[in-house]
Amino acid sequence: MSQKKEVLVLCTGNSCRSIMAEAMINAKMGDCVHAQSSGVKASGKVNPHAQALLESKGEWKEAYHSKVIETVLDTAFDLVVTVCDAAKETCPMFPKAVKTIHVGFEDPSGKAVEEYAKTYDLIEKELLPIIQKELCY
């Protein structure tokens, strides 16, 4: 079996969308991809609604936490995905040339709890197939 591809999901705060995407990719595509997430300006905490949603789907792991970009810069990623416009604008250059794509999602933080489920569904519909196509051939 070939080695798993590494994907980084990058956002601004790394508290909601990027963590959700990280968990979903690892839960649904873990046979070919390993995902990590980080924030350009990491908030240091995971949004409790995002965590509760992932827990309800059996996709939450205690290892998931909000982390700054510096902690992952040395990883040899196969793909970097920005999921918010601010991260797209400020995405750092990675030491190892890496393909970067942008698939934006509106931040549900501070909105009704149903918005988190909508974001989850959008990530599943829009982002996962792209990662599948890019990394799981």
pLDDT in tens, 47-58: 999 999 999 999
Question: What is the phi/psi pair of residue 47, to 5°?
Answer: -60, 125
11, 16, 32, 136: which is the annotated catalytic residue? 11
Continuous segment of H or E residues that includes residue 23: helix 17-29
Question: What is the phi/psi pair of residue 89, to 5°?
Answer: -70, -35
Query: Is there a catalytic annotation at residue 16?
Result: no
pLDDT level of residue 1 (50, 70, 90 thresholds):
very low
Query: Is there a catalytic annotation at residue 32?
Result: no
- C-alpha to C-alpha distance for 79 and 97, rounded to whole angstroms: 10
Query: The domain that contains 16 carries what CATH number?
Result: 3.40.50.2300
Supply the pLDDT for residue 86. 75
pLDDT in tens, 76-90: 899 999 998 776 777
Instruction: Give the pLDDT mean for 103-128.
Output: 95
Instruction: Print the domain residue range for 71.
Output: 5-135
Query: Is there a catalytic annotation at residue 136?
Result: no
Number of domains the chain is built from: 1
